[in-house]
C-alpha cells in the first residue's frame, strides 16, 4: 500500500515534469439534481457478463464473494517457486525473505516446500469457487535466499539470485534442484498441473500472467533488471514464456503484459528502442498485440489470450490525485465519482495530465478494444490491478461500484482490485452490492442488457437478467450527487412485465448494505424511486405477479364527440366487460387512451359521468413516444369502484379532456381515436392493465 504509493507517485511525477504541463483547475460538478430517467430494455444489447470481473489481489473481509483472485504485484517479479523466497525490490530495501509465505497463510513448516505460496493461494481460490491468475517470472532472476537486503554490488547475476529459464528442455521434477542456480517456469507449471490437473479441469489453474509491470522493472527491481526494458525484449520474453507454458498446459490462458499505466501503454515508459519500432503504431500496445499475433501465426497457436493492463487513475481534484491519498478534500471526492467515466464516456474530460495531453487515447476501454480488433482480434481484455482510492469513503464506494458496472457493460473478461488503503469498508460494500447484497451470496445477473440514464454526471445505471427467461431483472443505480436526492423514473421494456421489486444498498450514512423500501408502484413496467444523495442501490425486480391475471376482460369504446376531430376537447367513453367466471376488483385495473396533444400545453381531464361514480376514478397524464401518440391519459380506480361481476360490466365512463390553453386538437391521427365508433364496440387501441400487466389491447 505505502510502497505502491511511492512507486506510483514517482512515475506520475516524472512524467508530469517531462511534459512541463500546466493542469487546469477542475470545473465544478454535481449541480442541484433534477429528475432522472433510467431506461432499460431487456431485449437490447444482450451479452454475457464475465464473472471474472469481480476479482481482487487481496481478500479484504472475505465476505465479498470474489469471483477471481490474482497472485501478483511487485513481490512476484522476484518470486522463486522452488523455495518461496521473494524480493521486495525498491519497495523495501531490496529485501529477499519469506514475506509471501506469511502474507499467503503458509505455515513456517511449509515455507520451504516447492510452490507452497502458489498452492496455498490456489487452494483458497478453489475453496471459494474463484478463478486463479498466477504470475510467472520473466525479468531474468529470482531470489535464491531469504537473507534480507541485497546490496547494489550483489545485483544479478550474483550468488543472491537464481537465473530464470522458461523451458527446462529436460525431464521435469516435482522436487526441483535447489542448487543448480536455475529456476524453470515450465517445470513450475508442470508441478501445478500434476497437483491440480490442467486448466480444462475443474480444479486446474486457469490463467498465468507474464510477470508484473515490466516497464518499471529497472525502477522497482534494479537488482534484478537494472537496465531499462527494451520493447523488443519484452515481446521476445513474452513469446518464449508463453510457449513454455502452453507446451505444458495448452488449455491455460495467458495474460500479458501487465502494464502499470498509461506511460507503459504509450511507449513502454520511453523504452530505448521504441522510437525505432513505433512506425505507424498509435502506441506500444498496438505493437505488442501485432507481434503476439505474428507469433501466433508462426507457432500455430495463440500465445496471448488476454491483454492485461493496470489502471490507477491520474485524475485529480482540489490539487490532489484521487488515488493514494485517502478520501481527500471535497473536490477530490467529486473528481473520484466522475473518474470512471474516462473508461467509456467520450464526452468527459478528466482533470489529469492524460486528459490534458493525451485525450485522444480516452475513453480507455474503447481505445483498448479498438487496438485489439485491429491487431489481434479475439484477444480478451483485463484490468488486473485498479483502484479509485477513497476505500473507506462513500466516494470510493460509488466509484468502485460504477467501475464494476462499466466492466460488465463494456465486456471486460477480468478485473482485479488492488488495495491501496488500510480501511476498505466502502470498496468492500461496492463488491458486495454486486456479489453478496443480501448476505447469502446473491448477485447481479449474468447477462447484461441495455440501460441508459438521462444524467451521466449525477447518476449511473447498469442492468442484467439472470437467464434467458428474463423473469428476474437486476438494476444497479448510483446517485453521484453530493447534496440532493434523485427522483428517478424507471422505464422498462422487453418481453416481461415486472410487478414487484426489492432494494438493497448503502449510502454516505454507512457502508453496511441494508434492505431499503420495496418497489411497490410498478405500473405498465414503469415506476419511480427516490435515491438519497451519494447512494448505491441494487434493485431486484420480479416478473411474477402476486395475483392471477384475468384474461377475459374487454374494453369497449365510443367517440362521445361523434367524429368531431378538430375541436378543443377529446371525449372518449369506455365500458369494461368481464367475460370470465370470477369477479374482478376494479382497483386492480388501469386504462390508457393514447393521443397526440398537438402542442406543449398542459392537459386537464374530467369524468362527466360514470355509473361507478366519478369520485372513484383518478385521472393522470403521461408522455409517450409511439405510433401516433405523444401522450396518454390513464384512468385508475379506487376501492370504492367495487367489483365487476362475472359476466358483468363497469358501465359507461364518460371522459372529457382539454388543454390548459383550450387550443384545438387534431384527433384524426391519434392512436386510440376512431370517430366512426359512435356506439360502444370492442376497441383494442384502448389498453387495459391488471396489476400492471396488459390484459386487453395493444400499446402503440
Kindly state the cell numbers that stand for 598. Answer: 398537438
Lowest mean pLDDT across 190-204, 239-253, 514-528: 514-528
What is the pLDDT at residue 50? 98
Q: What digits encode the pLDDT tens for the residues 168-217?
A: 999 999 999 999 999 999 999 999 999 999 999 999 999 999 999 999 99
Q: Which of 82, 187, 213, 385 is catalytic?
A: 213
Is residue 213 a contact partner of residue 234, using CB atoms and an 8 Å limit?
no
Q: What is the pTM of this model?
A: 0.76
> Where does 51-314+352-386 sit in CATH, by number?
3.20.20.80
Are the C-beta atoms of 534 and 29 separated by less than 8 Å?
A: no
SS3 150: coil
Question: Domain residue spans in the chain?
Answer: 51-314+352-386, 553-696
| Residues whose CB is less than 8 angstroms from the CB of residue 279 and which lie 6 or more positions away in sequence, other chains included | none
Phi and psi dihedrals of 335, rounded to 5? Answer: -65, -35
Residue 32's pLDDT band (boundaries 50, 70, 90)?
Answer: low
Res 669: pLDDT:
87
Average pLDDT for residues 129-158, to the nearest whole number?
98
CATH topology for 553-696 is Immunoglobulin-like (2.60.40)
Mean pLDDT of the residues in the chain: 93
What pLDDT is attached to residue 72? 98
Classify residue 570 by its DSSP letter: B
Instruction: Give the rounded distance of the alpha carbon of 630 from its chain centre.
Output: 34
Whether the pLDDT of residue 220 is over 60: the answer is yes
Q: What is the 3-state secondary structure (H, E, C) of 403-462?
A: HHHHHHHCCCCEEEECCCCCCCHHHHHHHHHHHCCCCCCCCCCCEEEEEEECCCCCEEEE
Q: Which residues pair with 623 in a beta bridge?
A: 631
Q: Which helix (H) or strand (E) holds 178?
A: none
pLDDT score at 551? 72
Please state at what angle helix 394-409 crosses helix 330-338, rounded to 10 degrees: 10
Run of H or E residues at 503? strand 500-507
Asked about 213 being catalytic, the answer comes back as yes
390-424 per-position pLDDT tens digit: 999 999 999 999 999 999 999 999 999 999 999 99
Cell of 658: 382539454
Amino acid at each position: 500500500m505505502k510502497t505502491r504509493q511511492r512507486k506510483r507517485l514517482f512515475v506520475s511525477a516524472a512524467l508530469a515534469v517531462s511534459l512541463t504541463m500546466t493542469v487546469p483547475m477542475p470545473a465544478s460538478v454535481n449541480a442541484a439534481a433534477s429528475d432522472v430517467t433510467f431506461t432499460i430494455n431487456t431485449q437490447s444489447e444482450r451479452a454475457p457478463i464475465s464473472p471474472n470481473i469481480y476479482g481482487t489481489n487481496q481478500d479484504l473481509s472475505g465476505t465479498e464473494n470474489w469471483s477471481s483472485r490474482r497472485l501478483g504485484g511487485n513481490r512476484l517479479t522476484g518470486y522463486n517457486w522452488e523455495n518461496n523466497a521473494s524480493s521486495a525490490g525498491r519497495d523495501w530495501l531490496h529485501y529477499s525473505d519469506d514475506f509471501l509465505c506469511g502474507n499467503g497463510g503458509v505455515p513456517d513448516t511449509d515455507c520451504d516446500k516447492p510452490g507452497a505460496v502458489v498452492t496455498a493461494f490456489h487452494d483458497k481460490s478453489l475453496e471459494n469457487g474463484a478463478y486463479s491468475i498466477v504470475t510467472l517470472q520473466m525479468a531474468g532472476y529470482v531470489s535464491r535466499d531469504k537473507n534480507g537486503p541485497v546490496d547494489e554490488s550483489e545485483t544479478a547475476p550474483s550468488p543472491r539470485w537464481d537465473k530464470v529459464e522458461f523451458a527446462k528442455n529436460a525431464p521435469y521434477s516435482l522436487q526441483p534442484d535447489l542448487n543448480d542456480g536455475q529456476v524453470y517456469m515450465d517445470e513450475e507449471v508442470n508441478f501445478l498441473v500434476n497437483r491440480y490437473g490442467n486448466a480444462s479441469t475443474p480444479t486446474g489453474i486457469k490463467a498465468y500472467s507474464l510477470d508484473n509491470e515490466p516497464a518499471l522493472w529497472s525502477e522497482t527491481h534494479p537488482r534484478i533488471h537494472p537496465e531499462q526494458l527494451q520493447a523488443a525484449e519484452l515481446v521476445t520474453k513474452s513469446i518464449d514464456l508463453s510457449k513454455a507454458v502452453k507446451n505444458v498446459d495448452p488449455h491455460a490462458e495467458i495474460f500479458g503484459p501487465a502494464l502499470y499505466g498509461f506511460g507503459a501503454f504509450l511507449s513502454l515508459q520511453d523504452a530505448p528502442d521504441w522510437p525505432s519500432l513505433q512506425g505507424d503504431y498509435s502506441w506500444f500496445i498496438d505493437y505488442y498485440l501485432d507481434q503476439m499475433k505474428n507469433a501466433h501465426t508462426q507457432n500455430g497457436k495463440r500465445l496471448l489470450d488476454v491483454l492485461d493492463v493496470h489502471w490507477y487513475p491520474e485524475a485529480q481534484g482540489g490539487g490532489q490525485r484521487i488515488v493514494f491519498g485517502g478520501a481527500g478534500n471535497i473536490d477530490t471526492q467529486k473528481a473520484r465519482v466522475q473518474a470512471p467515466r474516462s473508461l467509456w464516456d467520450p464526452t468527459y474530460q478528466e482533470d489529469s495530465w492524460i486528459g490534458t495531453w493525451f485525450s485522444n487515447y480516452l475513453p480507455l476501454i474503447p481505445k483498448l478494444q479498438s487496438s485489439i480488433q485491429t491487431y489481434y482480434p479475439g484477444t480478451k481484455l483485463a484490468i488486473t490491478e485498479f483502484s479509485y482510492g477513497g476505500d473507506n469513503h462513500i466516494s470510493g464506494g460509488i466509484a468502485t461500484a460504477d467501475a464494476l458496472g462499466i466492466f460488465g457493460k463494456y465486456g471486460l473478461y477480468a478485473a482485479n482490485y488492488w488495495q491501496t488503503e488500510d480501511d476498505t469498508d466502502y470498496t468492500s460494500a461496492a463488491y458486495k452490492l454486486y456479489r453478496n447484497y443480501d448476505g447469502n451470496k446473491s448477485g447481479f445477473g449474468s447477462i447484461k442488457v441495455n440501460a441508459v440514464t438521462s444524467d451521466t454526471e449525477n447518476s449511473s445505471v447498469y442492468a442484467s437478467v439472470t437467464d434467458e427467461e428474463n423473469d428476474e431483472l437486476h438494476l444497479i443505480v448510483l446517485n453521484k450527487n453530493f447534496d440532493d436526492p434523485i427522483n428517478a423514473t424507471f422505464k422498462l421494456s422487453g418481453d416481461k412485465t415486472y410487478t414487484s421489486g426489492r432494494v438493497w444498498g448503502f449510502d454516505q450514512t454507512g457502508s453496511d448494505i441494508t434492505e431499503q423500501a420495496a418497489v411497490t408502484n410498478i405500473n405498465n413496467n414503469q415506476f419511480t424511486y427516490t435515491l438519497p444523495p451519494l447512494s448505491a442501490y441494487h434493485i431486484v425486480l420480479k416478473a411474477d405477479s402476486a395475483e392471477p391475471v384475468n384474461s377475459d376482460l374487454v374494453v369497449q369504446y365510443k367517440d362521445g364527440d361523434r367524429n368531431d376531430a378538430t375541436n378543443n376537447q377529446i371525449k372518449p367513453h369506455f365500458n369494461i366487460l368481464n367475460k370470465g367466471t370470477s369477479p374482478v376488483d376494479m382497483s386492480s385495473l388501469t386504462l390508457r387512451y393514447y393521443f397526440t396533444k398537438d402542442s406543449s400545453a398542459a392537459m386537464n381531464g374530467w369524468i362527466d359521468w360514470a355509473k361507478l361514480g366519478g369520485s372513484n376514478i383518478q385521472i393522470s397524464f403521461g408522455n409517450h413516444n409511439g405510433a401516433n401518440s405523444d401522450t396518454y391519459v390513464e384512468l385508475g380506480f379506487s376501492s370504492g369502484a367495487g367489483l365487476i361481476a362475472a359476466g358483468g360490466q363497469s358501465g359507461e365512463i364518460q371522459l372529457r379532456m382539454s388543454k390548459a390553453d383550450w387550443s384545438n386538437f387534431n384527433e384524426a391521427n391519434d392512436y386510440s381515436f376512431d370517430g366512426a365508433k359512435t356506439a360502444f364496440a370492442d376497441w383494442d387501441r384502448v389498453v387495459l392493465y391488471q396489476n400492471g400487466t396488459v390484459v386487453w389491447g395493444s400499446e402503440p
